């Protein structure tokens, strides 16, 4: 167990549904602290850079189109085992397979329009946080 930071994105589908406050409440109820947060719209090029690990996948173009289709919220979450805890609160990638009470189950629509993204490891969390935030923007 350790105090970690992780990157969370509230995706365009959840922002369009106006449920960002509800998502944040789930995160906070799980003991995660939002130590940085901003709202903006990615360009398609920026989305492609963020998701470049998936560039060989059939869904890559559609995913990047969707992620640049409207405003998102990027946030840094901090807490005990934050990477795993956030993934637990998010639920499985496909909302249809996510546990009842998880963010994706309650707010996601499909495997692509799945409401939130969360880093999958401590190493990737550091890379993904640095993609969106400077150190000055993170206030613990």
6-45 footprint of ligand CMP as x/- string (CB under 6 A): ----------------------------------------
Based on the shown chain and the rule CB under 6 A, indicate whether residue 4 belongs to the binding site for ligand CMP: no
Residues making up the chain, counted from first to last? 140
Based on the shown chain and the rule CB under 6 A, indicate whether residue 124 belongs to the binding site for ligand CMP: no
Rounded distance, CA 89 to CA 22, Å?
Answer: 12
Based on the shown chain and the rule CB under 6 A, indicate whether residue 129 belongs to the binding site for ligand CMP: no
117 is catalytic: yes
Based on the shown chain and the rule CB under 6 A, indicate whether residue 115 belongs to the binding site for ligand CMP: no
Dihedral sign, CA of 52, 54, 60, 66?
A: negative
- Mode of pairing for the β-strands spanning 116-118 and 3-10: antiparallel
Judged by CB under 6 A, the chain residues 39 through 58 that form the site for ligand CMP are 54
Give me the DSSP letters along 52-85.
GGGTTSTTHHHHHHHHTSS-EEEEEEEEETHHHH
Please say which residue, 24 or 114, places its beta carbon nearer to ligand CMP: 114
Based on the shown chain and the rule CB under 6 A, indicate whether residue 109 belongs to the binding site for ligand CMP: no
Q: Which residues are catalytic?
A: 117
């Amino acid at each position: 167990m350790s105090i970690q930071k992780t990157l969370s994105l509230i995706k365009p589908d959840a922002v369009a549904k106006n449920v960002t406050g509800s998502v944040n409440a789930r995160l906070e109820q799980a003991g995660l602290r939002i130590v940085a947060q901003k709202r903006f719209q990615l360009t398609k090029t920026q989305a492609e850079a963020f998701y470049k690990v998936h560039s060989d996948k059939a869904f890559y173009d559609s995913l990047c189109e969707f992620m640049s289709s409207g405003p998102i919220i990027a946030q840094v979450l901090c807490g005990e085992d934050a990477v795993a805890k956030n993934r637990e609160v998010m639920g499985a990638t496909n909302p249809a397979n996510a546990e009842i009470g998880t963010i994706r189950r309650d707010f996601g629509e499909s495997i692509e329009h799945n409401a939130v993204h969360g880093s999958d490891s401590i190493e990737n969390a550091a890379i993904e946080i640095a993609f969106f935030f400077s150190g000055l923007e993170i206030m613990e």
